[in-house]
Amino acid sequence: MADRQDVQTAFGDLLTIDGGASLSSWSQVWSARVHGGAEDVPAVVKQTWSSPEPLEAWQRTLVARGIRTVAPLLPVATVGDGSADAEHWVAYPRLAGSTWDGGAADLAAAGRLLGEMHAASAELVIDGFPGFEWGNPERDSIDEDIEAIRASAAEHWPSADVERWVAQLDGFPQLLERVRAADVPQLPASLDHRADNLLFDAEGALMLDLENAALAPRILDLAVAALLFPLEHAGSGGNALGSDEWVAFRDAYLAASPLTRQERELWPAALTYMKLEWGTWHLTEGVEPEPTGNLGYLEDLLTLDEHARYPLA
């Protein structure tokens, strides 16, 4: 990965990257200042897509439609010689706000923002937007996941009952086929709508990171938000969202983006699909003990009955 000086050079005089550590524990995200106006604009600099034009087009559409998220302040800078190994870096505005406090009011704001993002993205066609990557139905892959879940549980949560998760993994091919074949709306979706990527202020929620976006069934974006919203965030209190917390998020979402009958019928399968496809990785290869409480959250995720806790009423 390019170092700070390489990125600074790529942006030239348009921007100055400040000193100090990365703003993120998981990737290089640097504080910066964009020049050229009456005053410098606070910014963050991070790596973006290898072909950033579709992402930027979506971001600018969202902002133009009043959605509280980020769009590039400057043309994307390239570090490298233009080959496949070249890196692309973007400067986004540095938004101000508070992190999730664990409360229902912030959850309602987060749910409303996700619904507004979906409403603004409905029927939007952006050339080159990457498609959703579906899971692997091969038996060898499923057996590897089952073995990995058992091993990780034995290491981190030895008293947890993993048999429901294992049984659901055993039926993954049929689940994948049903969800993939469903006739439900697809749109550009962040697939990362969780507390660690949001800030909150008196007006509601602000989304900071759309780098994991794909053209996906919107019901899967809602499902992964229900399951992973507290991931790696101190506000989780060591648990996945509870039923009352989910109601606050869900009702605010549905007020902004009502679901179709087909989506409502698919919801239980979509929820389990995203739990198995994305949750399995976080419970095996992606286990993070920090921040404090994340292991507790993951144990709750491992053992919860997602259909009972996250209904669509």
Question: Per-residue DSSP letters for 238-276?
Answer: TSPPPHHHHHHHHHHHHHHSPPPHHHHHHHHHHHHHHII
- Lookup result for tokens 């921040």: 291
Q: Are strands 87-93 and 186-189 parallel, antiparallel or unpaired?
A: unpaired
Predicted confidence at residue 37, as pLDDT, reads: 85
Does residue 266 sit in the same domain as residue 130? yes
Q: Do 167 and 304 fall into the same domain?
A: yes
Residues 125, 203: Cα–Cα separation, whole Å: 29
Q: What is the pLDDT of residue 243?
A: 96
pTM for this prediction: 0.96
Taking residue 43's Cβ as centre, other Cβ atoms within 10 Å add up to: 24
Pair 159, 305 in one domain = yes
- Give the residue with greater pLDDT, 27 vs 63: 63
Q: Does one domain contain both 152 and 224?
A: yes
- Cβ-in-10-Å burial (0-12, 13-18, 19+) of 139 comes to exposed
Residue bearing tokens 């919107």: 218
The residue-averaged pLDDT of 4-24 equals 92
Angle in degrees, CA 194, 89, 290, rounded to 5: 35
pLDDT tens readout for residues 261-301: 999 999 999 999 999 999 999 999 999 999 999 999 999 99
User: Do 267 and 188 lie in a common domain?
Assistant: yes
Residue 285 three-state SS:
coil
Give the domain extent around 60.
Answer: 4-93
Q: What share of the chain in percent tops pLDDT 70?
A: 99
Domain count, the chain: 2
Q: How far apart are CA 10 and CA 76, in angstroms?
A: 9
Position with higher pLDDT, 2 vs 151 = 151
- At 2 the pLDDT is 87
Q: What is the CATH number of the domain that holds 132?
A: 3.90.1200
In a domain, 98, yes or no: no
Give the pLDDT of residue 249: 98
Would you state the pLDDT for residue 293?
93
CATH number of 21's domain: 3.30.200
- Give the mean model confidence (pLDDT) for residues 194-207: 97
Q: Is 12 exposed, middle or buried (0-12, 13-18, 19+ CB in 10 A)?
A: exposed
Task: Give pLDDT, residue 82.
Answer: 65
Looking up tokens 């060591």 gives 238
Average pLDDT taken over every residue of the chain: 95
| Domain termination residue (choose one: 93, 123, 148) | 93
Q: Is residue 117 part of a domain?
A: yes
Q: Do 89 and 108 fall into the same domain?
A: no
User: pLDDT class for 25, splitting at 50, 70, 90?
Assistant: confident
pLDDT in tens, 36-57: 888 999 999 999 999 999 999 9
Task: From 59, 93, 127, give the residue that closes a domain.
Answer: 93
Tokens 């009972």 belong to residue = 308
Pick the last residue of a domain from 66, 93, 120: 93
| Residue 67 covered by a domain | yes
Q: Residues 198-207: what's their mean pLDDT? A: 97
Are 152 and 283 contained in the same domain?
yes
What would the 3-class secondary structure string for 203-229 be?
A: CEEEECCCCCCEEEEHHHHHHHHHHHC
Q: Are residues 89 and 163 in the same domain?
A: no
Instruction: Please tell me whether residues 285 and 152 are part of one structural domain.
Output: yes
pLDDT (0 to 100) of residue 70: 97
pLDDT of residue 220: 98
Residue 99 lies inside a defined structural domain of this protein: no
pLDDT at 166 over 80: yes
Q: Are residues 108 and 72 in the same domain?
A: no
Residue 34 has pLDDT above 80, yes or no: yes
Tell me: the pLDDT tens digits for 64-115?
999 999 999 999 999 987 677 899 999 999 999 999 999 999 999 999 999 9
- 237 and 135 within one domain: yes
Is residue 48 located within the same domain as residue 119? Answer: no
CB of 23 within 8 A of CB of 30?
Answer: yes
Let me know if 119 is exposed, middle or buried by CB neighbors in 10 A (0-12, 13-18, 19+). Answer: middle
Residue 137 pLDDT > 80: yes
Q: How distant is the alpha carbon of residue 138 from its chain centre?
A: 26
Residue 297 lies in a domain: yes
- How large is the average pLDDT for residues 113-130? 97
Q: Which of 11-25, 112-126, 152-166 has the lowest mean pLDDT?
A: 11-25
Contact 211/188 with Cβ under 8 angstroms? Answer: no
